[in-house]
Amino acid sequence: MASISSLGIGSQMDTAGMLEKLQSSEQLRLRPYSLMQNGYKSKISAWGQISSAMSAFQGGVKSLSKDAFNALSVSTNKAFTAKAGTGAFADTHAVHVEQLAVSHKLSSSVVAKSTDQLGVQNGSTRTITITNGSGKQTKVELKDDETSLDQIAKAINKQDGECSASVVRVEQGYQLLLNSKETGKDGEMKVEVSGDTQLATMLNTTHGGKSNTSSGSNADGMTQVSEAQDARLTIDGINYIRSTNNITDIIADVTLDLKDKSETTAPEQLTLTHDNTAIKSSVKDFVQKYNSLLTVTASASKYVRNDTSGLAEEDVASKNSQNGALMGDSTLRGLVGEIRSAVNGIYGEDNADINALADLGIKIDAATGQMKLNDTELDSAIADNPDAIANLFKGHGAQEGLATTLDKIVTKYVGDSATKTTGIIKSSTDGLDEQVKIMQTQLDKTQKLIDAQVERYRVQFEALDNTMSKMNSLSSQMTGMLAKL
């Protein structure tokens, strides 16, 4: 098959250029489908940006429906620290820490070298079982050549059980240290060696390492370094005992982390107060995300008049490229309309001091829908009546709040993965995706027709070249013959 560049050689005509122009002309048949496909893709992209802004806005809305008004400030105390969750209540508690929970630690007798084999060489295996107060066990099996302190510690740690082991150097030699990972009496360890009487004498411990100095068969092989000890504390006059210093089950949704014994017999005051800074932060975040959403929707629905300058009356102006991808879209108009109607609504009791965003110092531009926040007015509203602000956003009794109303609107359009609800936007973009595929099918089909038509043109021009070449050759022959006459 001859290429386009080889055309015209025989005819001396620019058939290659003619074919290129015909090919370019045929390619214009793709333009309507390309324009429609790009339009659908632009709409999909615009909806994607709106969905993202809607999801971010919903995060701010959800904060105002619960977390912002449940946040508590916690006092600073010496003997303990406290952390309040969203289910905690503003209150004051008297806390006295009598003692901290301590983990059990045991040490072996001293040996000269940490690599010396300490067990009986009897050709069998022996088992070391470490049991804590709650019944959890760590077991290791050792061969004759695995009974040095280094090997015992390594074998215990490999089990990743309820205790850890280490070998420390002391003045006379080396000792094996066992440290319970669990504090309190539940972490008190018992050690039993079976299958090796020599190693058992050194490690067997059934009395917490406290009876190692006594005589007789009840003496422990290991010595107590620190006693297993439960935490003891008093809260609001009630005594509590816990096996850990991290306490979560006394004050509702408050975690106490015990740090030290109380310095005096008098209790410290744990004070939980409403954190008004969280309310202000959440309101400001709500305003910012709302304005961002309105900016995105305004860009997507933007309308710019067509430029008709220089056009005759019979000419048709083309669509302005500055228009938004979703200009005139009824779904977008409905979305914006519902949100703007919600934020301009009245919530709570009619005679309440705060029942609209304007009462918080939030002004809404009637033309653009954008919000403007007055910090001074918001601070004053929070200081005077934080509960009324909570009612505005969260609702009160059977009356729905602004946050709840907006959350329903957002869910209606973007859906909810938790309930597997499909939003309106997803349905719209699915339809647009289908149109993109249809246009691609049309483009592929039309391109094949264009390629076939261009090939027919090429064959015709090639035939023309061959005919013209033969005619030129015949003309030359006749001229030569006439010249000889």
Q: Identify the residue whose tokens are 């965003």.
A: 357
- Give the number of other Cβ atoms within 10 Å of residue 183's Cβ: 21
Same domain, 160 and 48: no
- Give me the number of domains the chain comprises: 3
Backbone angles phi, psi at 196, to 5 degrees: -160, 95
DSSP category for residue 300: H
Query: Cα separation of 358 and 374, whole Å?
Result: 10
Average pLDDT, whole number, for the chain?
88
DSSP string, 154-191: HHHHHTT-SEEEEEEE-SSSEEEEEEEEEESGGG--EE
Task: Please give the pLDDT value at position 1.
Answer: 43
Query: Cα separation of 363 and 53, whole Å?
Result: 21
Same domain, 64 and 190: no
Task: Please give the pLDDT value at position 473.
Answer: 75
Partner residues linked to 238 by β-bridges: 235
Task: Please give the pLDDT value at position 218.
Answer: 63
In-domain check, residue 202:
yes
94, two tokens: 């008297």
Backbone angles phi, psi at 164, to 5 degrees: -120, 155
Q: Which of 126, 86, 130, 79 is nearest to 106 (CA)?
A: 130
Same domain, 38 and 108: no
pLDDT beneath 50, residues of the chain:
1-2, 4-6, 8, 10, 215
Same domain, 235 and 373: no
Same domain, 222 and 236: no
In-domain check, residue 317:
no
Q: Identify the residue whose tokens are 């919530």.
A: 347
DSSP category for residue 321: T
- CATH number of the domain residue 177 falls in: 2.60.40
Same domain, 148 and 165: yes
CA 121 to chain centre: 57
Same domain, 182 and 206: yes
H or E stretch including 364? strand 362-364
In-domain check, residue 318:
no
Q: Residue 178 in contact with residue 224, Cβ under 8 Å? A: no
Task: Please give the pLDDT value at position 313.
Answer: 61
Three-state SS for 400-466 is ECHHHHHHHHHHHHHCECCCCECCHHHHHHHHHHHHHHHHHHHHHHHHHHHHHHHHHHHHHHHHHHH
In-domain check, residue 308:
no
Same domain, 120 and 173: yes
Query: Cα separation of 359 and 340, whole Å?
Result: 17
In-domain check, residue 180:
yes
In-domain check, residue 313:
no
Same domain, 165 and 17: no
Give me the numbers of helices (H) and strands (E) for the chain, helices first please: 11, 19
Same domain, 171 and 235: no
Q: Residue 355 in contact with residue 347, Cβ under 8 Å? A: yes
Task: Please give the pLDDT value at position 212.
Answer: 56
pLDDT tens track for 367-381: 999 999 999 999 999
In-domain check, residue 247:
yes
In-domain check, residue 35:
yes
Same domain, 362 and 389: yes
**At CB < 8 A and 24+ separation, what contacts does 427-433 make?**
428/47, 428/331, 429/43, 429/44, 429/47, 429/48, 432/40, 432/43, 432/44, 432/47, 433/44
Q: Which domain holds residue 85?
A: 72-100+230-274
Task: Please give the pLDDT value at position 127.
Answer: 96
Same domain, 162 and 262: no
Query: Cα separation of 467 and 465, whole Å?
Result: 6
Query: Cα separation of 67 and 279, whole Å?
Result: 9
Instruction: Please name the amino acid found at residue 178.
Output: L
